[in-house]
Structure 1
């Protein structure tokens, strides 16, 4: 199978047979660290500082990098990665969600510390997008 890499709008994505997936990642909740509006970073994350919970939510990609339509039936699911380092190389697979309509995950029982999260989308053939923006939550 033909696998290629391209830089599109500053985002490195991998594709098979010309399929590109772009994922917008948003962390929702109250409190915690956040990026600013319009700068491409997550806005708002998590839950109350003492509850040991991070609530992650994201938006499914609706177009390919070439701006052609990507239907929900073409999305196989999402992979949520978590770690204690800010780089994607520090993240490990936390959960594989094989339902394209599930775009929220609650991570519970977190000990005090800072956690980093990223999400990828994959299509029905298993072709995985690049990581979303890495976001953090301090418990």
Structure 2
């Protein structure tokens, strides 16, 4: 059997530790394990890295933030900065409906889509944010305690350069010591690129990933990534 090989030569493993993301190459058996590689993430594809994007999950290349609260207009329908989008914000938007964005600070903030004028399209957009706080995603994100999110890009080649056509799944291996990854989660869906590991007790846990093909051949263990559970 042919072993796996890393990156464009193989798969990447990314461990998302809430606000910290590290990207690791998945090394194949018999290969030299690569070092950590920093790869900017741009979830919404707007050309602005997530680390600098004021609307991470909404494409807004202009980064327009009329009220300068750190949230781009595209994901900030909280016009009165109360911390929640509600009926009061709808009333504010109605008060400047059809007005140019440049006519007042209120109109500038209410121009959610950045067209230069407050329109019914802005009102429709505001409706989708009702009951949610403003922010980079415009959504309420609850991170469960005792969890770690693992994400990766699937491998495409074997170590001999041939195309990988029978990827069958992955194994997430983890434990409380780098040398003792004695817990394994087997994922039989090769289409997965993300998994939430739950029920972790307080302390530092270490995670790594291997890929598995339909014949049971596995890649080498990826570099190991830690996460501290409080």
TM-score (norm 1): 0.69
Q: Which has the larger radius of gyration?
A: 2
CA pair 122-114 structure 1, distance change in 2 beyond 3 A: same
CA pair 48-21 structure 1, distance change in 2 beyond 3 A: farther
- What does 1:43-82 correspond to in 2, within 5 Å? 51-71=145-165, 74-82=166-174
Q: What 5-or-longer segments of structure 1 have no aligned partner? A: 1-15
1:126 lines up with 2:216 in the alignment: yes
> Residue 134 of structure 2 aligns with which residue?
none
- Greater share of residues in helix: 2
Could you say which structure has the greater relative contact order, defined with CA pairs below 8 angstroms and 6 or more residues apart? 1
Instruction: Extract structure 1 runs of 4+ deviating beyond 6 A.
Output: 36-39, 47-50
- Greater share of residues in strand: 1
Q: Give aligned pairs, total.
A: 116
- What does 1:1-139 correspond to in 2, within 5 Å? 16=1, 18-22=2-6, 23-31=11-19, 35=22, 40-41=35-36, 51-71=145-165, 74-87=166-179, 90-139=180-229
Q: Does the aligned pair in 2 maintain the 1:31–1:49 contact within 8 Å? A: no
Q: What 5-or-longer segments of structure 2 have no aligned partner? A: 26-33, 39-140
